[in-house]
Amino acid sequence: MVENLIAHLGPEKHEENNLNASTIIQDVFEQKEFFNIICQKENLKAIADFASKPLDESTRASKTAALTVLCGIVGHHIEKAKKSGKKDDSKPENDDDDDMIVQQNSDDEKEDEQEPSSIALQAAVISEVLAEIIPDLVQVLKSTTVGDMTTTSVQDGEYVPLGQQRLWTVELVLKMIQLKKDTLNFAIAASDIPKNTIGLVKEFPWNNFLQLKVINIFTEVLELNDNVAFTKEFLESSTIAASIVDMQARAKYEMESTRIIRNGFMALVVNISNKL
């Protein structure tokens, strides 16, 4: 059944099939057995493959639906890990009876680590699958692409819109970093993902949804991450310092009416500058 649901995320299916499959899969995350099955490597790889197709391949509906599911899987796993950690932290100390229970639970957890459903093993499988699609995500996040052109009152000339695929891909990058797996994080930092993400901010200065996601990424890297080496490598790879200087030089935008307003990306510039 799970394989059939995942297959309905594919590009050969109608948009309605993609949306329905995405909704159903996410609705049953709370069922432990189902989530354990969806986190099996072959199932994750199938979803990740649909989600990371190039901009000019597959269908928009398929890629967006698969990205939504993939972000949901990573997010749900993170919440499960947090809840598990809170349970461990809340165990009472200095009580013999409780110590026996804690010891028993500890033994059970050691046994569970050998099960495919264990949180630690799931994290390893999720990280491995996500690391494999990093080169594909790099290509998706490139700022220059082909497509239908449009115009707005606050954009010079025609341009190709950001689109749901790239927006959800930035969200996926945030979830990947929130997993707090050093191997995955350093793979992200060593790629062009950080630089391309900042490139999108420059290319789409008025997209508030994109900017909020990028701010969240830098909050995670600068304030919620304990690995200094990763933080340093990510910042260098993103070229954020030079980008801030470049965007600051374009802090003001002149509209067709000659009215001067603050450029759209300046809220992000101020936020990340303060964090730095």
Other CB atoms within a 10 A radius of the CB of residue 54 amount to 13
- CA 79, CA 83: separation in Å to the nearest integer? 6
Other CB atoms within a 10 A radius of the CB of residue 110 amount to 10
106 has a pLDDT exceeding 60? no
152 has a pLDDT exceeding 60? yes
Asked whether the beta carbons of 43 and 37 are under 8 A apart, the reply is: yes
| Orientation angle between helical segments 163-178 and 60-89, nearest 10 degrees | 20
> pLDDT tens, 164-191?
999 999 999 999 999 999 999 999 999 9
- CA 189, CA 234: separation in Å to the nearest integer? 5
Q: How confident is the model at residue 101 (pLDDT cuts 50, 70, 90)?
A: very low
Q: How confident is the model at residue 84 (pLDDT cuts 50, 70, 90)?
A: confident
Asked whether the beta carbons of 162 and 210 are under 8 A apart, the reply is: yes
- CA 204, CA 223: separation in Å to the nearest integer? 25
Asked whether the beta carbons of 172 and 67 are under 8 A apart, the reply is: yes
What does the pLDDT read at residue 258? 84
Q: What angle do CA 61, 264, 246 make, to 5 degrees?
A: 110
Please say whether the dihedral angle defined by the alpha carbons of residues 227, 228, 229 and 231, taken in this order, is positive or negative.
Answer: positive
Backbone angles phi, psi at 234, to 5 degrees: -65, -45
Going by C-beta distance under 8 Å and a sequence separation of 6 or more, which residues neighbour residue 185? 176, 177, 225, 227, 230, 234
Asked whether the beta carbons of 143 and 203 are under 8 A apart, the reply is: yes
Residue whose pair of structure tokens reads 């490597």 in the numeric block? 41
Q: How confident is the model at residue 83 (pLDDT cuts 50, 70, 90)?
A: confident
What mean pLDDT do residues 262-270 have? 94
Nearest to 202 by CA among 163, 139, 246: 246
What mean pLDDT do residues 69-77 have? 97
- CA 158, CA 101: separation in Å to the nearest integer? 66
Asked whether the beta carbons of 72 and 9 are under 8 A apart, the reply is: no
Asked whether the beta carbons of 125 and 39 are under 8 A apart, the reply is: yes
